[in-house]
Amino acid sequence: MRTELSFASLSTIETELLTVLAADTQTAKGADVKAAPVLLTADAAVTAAAAGVLGSGEFKAGANETVLIHAPAGLKAKRLLVVGLGKTAKVTAHGVRTAAGTAVRYTKPRGIRELAFALPELNAVGLDALARVTAEGAIVGDFDSDTYRSERKDVSVASFVAVGPATFSGSPDEHAVQAAFAEGVIVGESQNFARALVNEPGNVLTPTEFGKRAAVMAESVGLGWDVSSTEKMRQLKMGAFLSVAQGSEEPPALIVLKYEPEGVNDGPVIGLVGKGITFDTGGISIKPADNMEKMKYDMAGGAAMLGAMRAIALLKPKVRVLCVVCASENMPDGKAQKPGDVQTAMSGKTIEIINTDAEGRLVLADGLAYAKQLGATHLIDAATLTGAVGVALGKVNAGAFSNDDETYTKFEAGLAASGEKFWRLPLGDEYADLIKSDIADIKNTGGRYGGAITAAEFLKVFAEDTPWIHLDIAGLAWNDEGGPHVAKGPSGVAVRSVVEWVRKYSL
């Protein structure tokens, strides 16, 4: 999709579809109270063109609600689409992000291939922030997961033009708004890069192929990279990672990317670690057949970290960043590890295997240790780690854990910009006691209760004293149902939040 930011009078724009946003200004409550939608633009011609619809009562400006006006009077646009943001008091930058996605997804099945999108006039949100989230939302909205359908037709939007107030043209602030829009394009495309990886079937995206695609991406954006396999992992004594891979005919891949900005030789080194299980049968503790086909998504944490690295390379923050993705299949072969086995991780810790389907924490254990060995001073990992996090938080929030309040505060501070929802869950000695083993240092599951927490406690053992955040994205990595602003399928969750967190450390 071609993207552009323009500053022009909305009434003069020639386009197949012009989108403007509206909010409900009604503050009273009650069954008989009617919505009072108002366009978030000062353009008199657009306001006049939409006056009839807004006054009819059929459009209430609910979040992502749409109404289309054909041949709007006084405008050069062929169609005028109004998208709602909800109540005025609750309008956020993220609401604008989803509205941009809604506009794009509205056009796709209707054969409309170009649209202009008017940035709303919001006193509470700067125009630069609006430009960025608009680009992100539009690009994310354009993604579909039907890559392998033989009758698939290219229904991508060819041209998306965000339109800011004409008064900004040539002003001192124009450059900042243009730069923010360009950042949004980078982040949106990086999120879609991660989504495209997650969407690939397991017979295509093997661990080896995962490594190849990471290398191609790294080369394209100027990242340092190294992809190795079993021999290197044996040299590093990655017994936990290797124990997961030993049941598969497909060799594992240890993927390392490095971003080293010019002139930055000290300060923190941020380590991103991703779970990259390209297909998860559960191993000997095999999963039920129902929905097992979705287990191709078990590398979504690794994909998110690669997407974040792509964005970081292009945004160029002044902080060193490295990324470790541990890619493997988890299969029930005759050579596969068994419940009751004891494995020795890279750190020297011994692990009793209680359930072979708790494999993600095993590969991350060695990934965290290796990131520290490579020099990471701060760690963040992302993984589709537990079904328990979805039971706890539903499909609304992903889980977050940390061993350091200051580090987590930086992460939390970026969520308003990323628009993603994470809820911090507790850690503590009472939970850590649940993963103590009778015959080894720890065991890889802690029982039925608090499963997301005991999994995090397991990872905390390998983070040790390094400031660390764990993101359990299992509940949000796959959209079971599409929405007005996003397609069904992989979500790319965590890319935006990880990027925002890393930028907090930029010198």
Active site residues: 287, 361
Tell me the CA distances in angstroms from 93 to 250, 342, 499, one per residue in order: 44, 49, 17
Read off φ and ψ for residue 178, nearest 5 degrees.
Answer: -60, -40
Residue 446's nearest CA partner among 457, 460, 461 is 457
Residue 85 in tokens = 């943001």
Residue 74 near residue 45, CB atoms below 8 Å: yes
Please state the three-class secondary structure of 210-264 as a single string. HHHHHHHHHHHHCCEEEEECHHHHHHCCCHHHHHHHCCCCCCCEEEEEEECCCCC
Query: Could you give the angle at which helices 174-199 and 127-141 cross, rounded to 10 degrees?
Result: 30
**Measured torsion, CA atoms of residues 382, 384, 385, 391, in degrees rounded to the nearest 10:** 120
Residues 6+ apart with CB under 8 A from 6: 13, 116, 161, 162, 163, 164
d(CA 52, CA 34): 16
Residues 6+ apart with CB under 8 A from 255: 210, 211, 214, 225, 226, 227, 276, 302, 306, 323, 324, 325, 326, 327
Residue 307's nearest CA partner among 143, 167, 154, 427 is 143
Phi-psi region of 320 (alpha: psi -120 to 50; beta: other; left: phi over 0): beta
Sign of torsion, CA 433 438 444 445?
A: negative
